[in-house]
Amino acid sequence: MKNILLCGATGFIGRNLLEHFANNSKYKVRAVYHNKSAVEGYDNVEWCQANLNDPSDVGRIMEGIDVVLQFAATTSGAKDITTKPFIHVTDNAVMNSLLLRSAYENNVEHFVFPSCTVMYQPSEEALSEDDFSGEDEIYSKYFGVGNTKVYIEKMCDFYSRLGRTKHTVIRHSNIYGPHDKYDLERSHVFGATVTKVMTAKDKVVMWGTGEEKRDLLHVDDLCRFVELALENQSKEYELFNVGLGQAVPVRDLVQKMITASGKNLKIESDLTKPTIKTSLYLDWKKAFAVLGWCPQITLDKGIEKTLKWYRENIDV
């Protein structure tokens, strides 16, 4: 049995990874929380409170660990990215630098880091892992967070070359599903749309025109990718695109969600609200070739599953 350190275990993706690995007999989970309280009801889980920007806390929680799933981060939606971009830079750079060094010092076998896709330029074609180089200019709205992610990717590559720890970097698309943020101040486009649709009486007010396109992946598919990476990756460093591989206009997403909800709602555009007018989707062929992974949950099925969870856990 291997010991997993799951950072960000009370966050959106972390909570889903907790559920995915908690009942897996191959692993024992040490779940890290900071401001949010530990979550009861999970077998085979040891909870640890820690500030990941504190070197002593990082060293304490890393002892005896075989695998690090680093899903702790300062995250939010388009509003903060456009009005307070600095909040995604400093804390994330510091905590990941400390975790990567401590993993090396403690002889951790495997370190998994979720990057993102903000370093890619907008495109109408599926983007592969090679469609970004360090010389490319990052889209202006994503300059801070994008360069921070690239820095951490390079840190993973650096530590992998020292020969102790295998590293997996995930450039994942927009993730959605249970335990996401569903408040309009902090949520991403999917979570915000769920809340708007499920609380609407007669209309849904969409930020912008809805022409921008997103690649939307259900969190269960991401959790399955992480498990396959732990089991099947052979090289010391790998970087993978992980997404649905489809570009979905936000307006189409809103309409799909209205249809799935069974409501009769109109769509209105609010052009005064902040939006990030980019479009991209991912080529995941490398993940399939190396790990045997491909997405299994269609967007329509994912919307259906998410609305069911929302009704049972939020809309009560």
Residue 79 binned pLDDT confidence (cut-offs 50, 70, 90): low
Residue 196 binned pLDDT confidence (cut-offs 50, 70, 90): very high
pLDDT of 140? 77
Three-state DSSP at 262 gives coil
- Contact, 159 vs 165, CB < 8 A? yes
pLDDT of 87? 66
pLDDT of 88? 67
Residue 311 CB partners (closer than 8 Å, separation 6+):
198
pLDDT of 85? 63
- Contact, 47 vs 38, CB < 8 A? yes
pLDDT digits (tens, 9 = 90+) for 218-268: 999 999 999 999 999 999 999 999 999 999 999 999 999 999 999 999 999
102: tokens are 């401590």
Out of 17-21, 23-27, 128-132, 305-309, which region has the weakest mean confidence (pLDDT)?
23-27
Q: Which residues pair with 203 in a beta bridge?
A: 266
Longest dimension (CA), the chain: 59
Buried b (16+ CB within 10 A) or exposed e, 132-152: beeeeebbebbebbbbbbbeb
Residue 115 binned pLDDT confidence (cut-offs 50, 70, 90): very high
306: tokens are 């998410």
Give me the CATH topology for the region 2-176+217-245+280-295: Rossmann fold (3.40.50)
CA distance 261 to 258: 5
**0.85 surpassed by pTM:** yes
pLDDT of 221? 98
pLDDT of 276? 63
Residue 227 Cα distances to 7, 20, 110, 185, 235, angstroms? 16, 9, 12, 32, 16
Question: Tokens 């555009």 appear where?
Answer: 269
How many other CB atoms are there within 10 angstroms of residue 85's CB atom? 15
How many other CB atoms are there within 10 angstroms of residue 187's CB atom? 22
What crossing angle do the helices spanning 299-313 and 189-199 adopt, rounded to 10°? Answer: 60
Residue 312 binned pLDDT confidence (cut-offs 50, 70, 90): very high
3-state helix, strand, coil in the chain (%, to 5): 40, 20, 40
DSSP state at residue 282:
B
- Residue ranges of domains in the chain: 2-176+217-245+280-295
